[in-house]
Copies of this chain bind each other. A is one copy, B any other.
Amino acid sequence: MARPRSEDKRDAIVAAAIEVIAAQGLSAPTATIAKAAGVATGSLFLYFQTKTDLLNAVYVALKSEMAVAVLDGVHAKDDVREQLFLAWSNWLQWATSFPEKRRALAHLGVSDEVTPQSRQAGHQAMAGAAEILERSRSGGPMRDAPLGFVAALMNALAEATIDFIISDPAHADRHRIAGFDAMWRMFT
């Protein structure tokens, strides 16, 4: 009968956290995040019991959002190589379009505050992409490697490629293609 707890407000806190973490790192004060979200400091703790909880929620939200972006339009393609190339392009597109999200994710990716459970949830979200990857490497030289290993390699290549595109955006397309070709050579 009281005001219901607002999903909007929760989302606003997560969104604010992304901006503030991108700008200030994980040591950003909760008070700053709350103010950026337009809520009182105490309200942040109504939606997230601790700062660590918020950080984990942000991590999972970003991973999920990224996963959706990566798979956009992918199933309209028939060819596996084309599917993987589109996913790859989507990935780079998302990361370069939302640099603050990528920055926040980079901070969270190496933080001890993000729990194994959250990382697991992140992998879960990327399951669709993993499936394409699975088909891409099947029959190739990495057919017997653990999928996790292959995924880690792809992830590492994508991160390196994104770093390079950001530092040299004039040749974004060239780097995107070169990165993908390099990856494809790994698989075939």
A interface residues with partner B (beta carbon < 8 Å): 2, 25, 27, 40, 42, 106-107, 109-110, 112, 141-142, 145-146, 148-149, 152-153, 155-157, 159-161, 163-164, 168, 175, 178-179, 181-183, 185-186, 188
Residues of B close to A155: CB separation below 8 A? 160
Residues of B close to A159: CB separation below 8 A? 156
Nearest-Cβ distance from residue A1 to partner chain B, whole angstroms? 9
Asked if A157 and B153 sit within 8 Å, CB to CB, the answer is yes
Interface of A: prevailing SS: helix
Task: State whether A141 and B186 are in contact (beta carbons under 8 Å apart), knowing that A110-B107, A157-B153, A163-B152 are contacts in the complex.
Answer: no
Asked if B141 and A164 sit within 8 Å, CB to CB, the answer is no
Give Cα distance in the complex from A120 to B86, angstroms.
34
Give Cα distance in the complex from A179 to B186, angstroms.
9
Give Cα distance in the complex from A6 to B188, angstroms.
55
Give Cα distance in the complex from A142 to B161, angstroms.
13
Task: State whether A182 and B152 are in contact (beta carbons under 8 Å apart), knowing that A110-B106, A112-B25 are contacts in the complex.
Answer: no
Give Cα distance in the complex from A65 to B118, angstroms.
34
Asked if B142 and A178 sit within 8 Å, CB to CB, the answer is yes
Residues of B close to A163: CB separation below 8 A? 152
